[in-house]
Amino acid sequence: MIDRDRFPIDPWRLVETRFTLDDIGVTETLFSVGNGYLGLRGNQPEGRFAHEHGTFINGLHEVFPIRHAEQAFGFAEVGQTILNAPDAKVMRVYVDDEPLSFDVADIREYERVLDFRTGVLTRHLRWLTPGGKDVVIDVERMVSFEEKHLAVQRLTVTVLNSDAPVTINCQILNRQDGEDVYGGTPTAPRKAGFDPRKSERLHERVLQPQEYWQDGARSALAYRVAQSQMTLSVVADHLIDTENEYTARTLIEPDIAKNVYRVQAKAGVPTTVTKFVSYHTSRGVPARELVDRGRRTLDRARAEGAQEQFDRQAAWCRDFWDRSDVVIGGRADLQQATRWCLFQLAQATARADSLGVPAKGMTGSGYSGHYFWDTEIYVLPFLAYTTPLWARNALRMRTLMLPAARRRATMLNEAGALFPWRTINGEEASAYYAAGTAQYHINADICFALARYVRATGDFDFLYREGIDIAVETARLWVTLGFWRFTENGDPYTFHIHGVTGPDEYTTVVNDNLYTNVMARFNLRFAARNVREMSERAPAEYAAMCERLNFDPAEADAWDGAAEAMHIPYSEALGIHPQDEVFLEREVWDLENTPREQHPLLLHFHPLVIYRYQVLKQADVVLALFLQGNHFTPIEKLNDFEYYDPLTTGDSTLSAVVQSILAAEVGYQDLAREYFEASLFVDLGDLHHNASDGVHVASAGGVWSALACGFGGMRDHYGDLTFDPRLPADWESLTYRIQWHGTPLRVTVTADEMTFEAGDGVGVDFAVRGREYRVDGGSTVRVPLAGQGPVIAGRPTIGMLTEARRDDGSLLSASVPTSATVVPDISGPIPVVATVANVVEGNPRPQQR
């Protein structure tokens, strides 16, 4: 999947030994640096060739009216999209007035490195100019984890073999309107064509200049966003260190600031320019105030010095890896990719603070910078078990969105709160309600993430002061969204939820989606249990909550009643849980005979075609089996996995990690490893051909879950920590770290033993394959293992459905949608179209037309 000559294996670094313009968008993503608030794409400092000249700030967005072809009440009305902030990465080098330009430059040495231990991106190159000058250029770039608003870039130029005039042109450039440094269109414009995963394009000027000035080596630009009214400032300062003679010149305009150093370079005498940059944003503070904040940020950074910033970055990274590292014994290739994924999670979340975690982090404009349920289900587990403070901050983002969520619920005639499917500012931004707003399960996902955080940390203070509002308001929605079915004598019988979309976006607006019902049941029970416990444990906070939310204790009884009566679809004939009430009535999409060039299906088939089939964009029932695994038996998990796995396209990067976890649990261990590697290299190998739009942060988070929960076998149902590992046969060992109620645990799995090493803290109770243990703080417990669980060869296939019958007795059939027409002969049997895809053997029906 990776050219190892160009990207050699290194367990602690991502290294590029050769530069090419052919995949520049992908490498920009892979070599991005960020801290959760500020992100810089891996653009070359020369600032010329790029897929996307990207500088992104979490939450900095513009709004625009959503124009529906046919309007209806309650449709989302205002869209949101992340903005590309002014670009301060540009530091151009000229020798003899010849620019370094990668399309024509004679590059003799090249190495670019993202070092996970230092949190710094470096680039070394040696350039032979047309005039024969031998020039070495070294660049270091970092976005500080310690200083939320600070980025530092340091460039050193040395002419080895001759004296020569050298110019270093440092710029801040507002590219928000899509122009490059010379005006016109970017060098690598995005390909035309439909793709809902890409960001919206704005056609009018968005960043309105408010202030721009220079004071010596310091430059400032400030803007107001036209419609969202957010404000932004970027302030840069420069230091030059050289024994060469030089002069400095400046230029300032509303959209560009230049600090240019003209150096009379002597042979072998280096010139270093260090650029400190500070970005600040606000939803209400005047731009001038943000400029003042930026100046203070730079004053501190300059006083401490650039090297101090790099040293503090390395120290921060050491602490991060001490509590977060995962070690795969004997597989350096997987080790490198794993650490890259974990480092991306740090870059996406560390300083997001009470902002959300965009689906692409701060590495690209894909999905318009929106927050999805990706955070709660795929990213929060890593945060909750390794750095709980980050998880708490992410959950606070949801509490801050409650007012907008309440308004949205009211608009849809429901009680409580309905969180937006995709958003930046808290308002629903999904224009397609069938695959957006209808995904009510986001409410339960958020509540589940809250519960997982509290289970892992014991942070009832946060639950009782803020989190309980989420639990109560989401539970209220379920009891009005759902409804009761009654017996003949009028007694309530079962509780149903209709008109929803589950995680699988290839099946929309259905009744009794299994995932939604199972997760709503959890949501209702969690809310009911915790309001009762809160009344006893924290009566003052309970009283405040009752007044704040106008809570009636009788509500908890209604929640419990609905949860106990929740309808969970089940097919006796097939021995599986249907994805929804009518899912099994559809024909099966024969994925095994669908050409690869027709993937992803959403780009090649009308939604109505997809909706008519049993075909999945991503794991749906299988995700429920993982998150709520204590409510399913081992045989139910196996049967469900074998049914749904052949129907899952993998068109979503959210899917493979979940399939890996369940495959490992039920016994498809080789398949589990295959799915894991597909997730691990989704960006590094550009497996979905859209890594150029930014990192798939949820997939990176899922990689951790696949390691800790899949191969490491960790579960925490009901708050009980349990383990049932599945170490791959060709791995020497697996070591991962978690925190449980403040006690750090280092868990190691080998073929015949599991080891638990506890750091300072309280003792931890846990179970391994049903047997209970306890490890005290500062001690080690070793548990022998008899094998790694069941092993099933191969993978489930469509062929396994042969002769399978629905509950009504009809046979399942599999086909690929086609425009071929079959005209039946009414005097004889209906002919079967044999020219399209496979039909399951024994099926008398014609192919779908």
Tell the residue number behind the tokens 């509490």, with chain if given. Answer: 399
Q: How far apart are CA 716 and CA 325, in angstroms?
A: 20
Q: How far apart are CA 462 and CA 224, in angstroms?
A: 35
For the chain, first and last CA: distance in Å?
37
Helical pair 514-537 and 554-564, crossing angle rounded to 10 deg: 150
Three-state SS at 813: coil
Residue 160 phi/psi, 5° resolution? Answer: -80, -35
Residue 403 phi/psi, 5° resolution? Answer: -55, -45
Question: In 10 A of CB 773, how many CB atoms?
Answer: 16
Three-state SS at 540: helix
Residue type, 73: F
Q: How far apart are CA 390 and CA 468, in angstroms?
A: 19
Tokens of 298: 């730079």
Burial class of 136 by CB neighbour count within 10 A (0 to 12, 13 to 18, 19+):
middle
- Pairing between strand 326-328 and 492-496? unpaired
Element (H, E) at 783: strand 780-784
Q: How far apart are CA 659 and CA 796, in angstroms?
A: 12
Query: How far are the Cα atoms of 334, 678, 707, 734 from residue 751, in angstroms, in the given order?
Result: 18, 24, 15, 10
Rg (CA), the chain: 28
564 a catalytic residue: no
- Inter-residue contact 680 to 338 (CB < 8 Å): yes
Three-state SS at 810: coil
Three-state SS at 801: helix
Q: How far apart are CA 110 and CA 125, in angstroms?
A: 4
Q: How far apart are CA 723 and CA 714, in angstroms?
A: 5
**DSSP for residue 706:** I
Please spell the DSSP secondary structure of 341-359, one letter per residue: HHHHHHHHHTTTTTS---T
Residue 656 phi/psi, 5° resolution? Answer: -60, -35
Contacts of 254 (CB under 8 A, 6+ apart): 174, 209, 212, 221
Among the listed residues 16, 98, 466, 505, the single catalytic one is 505
Three-state SS at 753: strand
Q: How far apart are CA 22 and CA 5, in angstroms?
A: 16
Tokens of 530: 């915790």
Q: How far apart are CA 421 and CA 430, in angstroms?
A: 7
- Inter-residue contact 345 to 700 (CB < 8 Å): yes
Q: How far apart are CA 382 and CA 700, in angstroms?
A: 10
Residue 480 CA, chain-centre distance (Å), reads 31
Contacts of 4 (CB under 8 A, 6+ apart): none
Q: Which residues are known catalytic residues?
A: 505
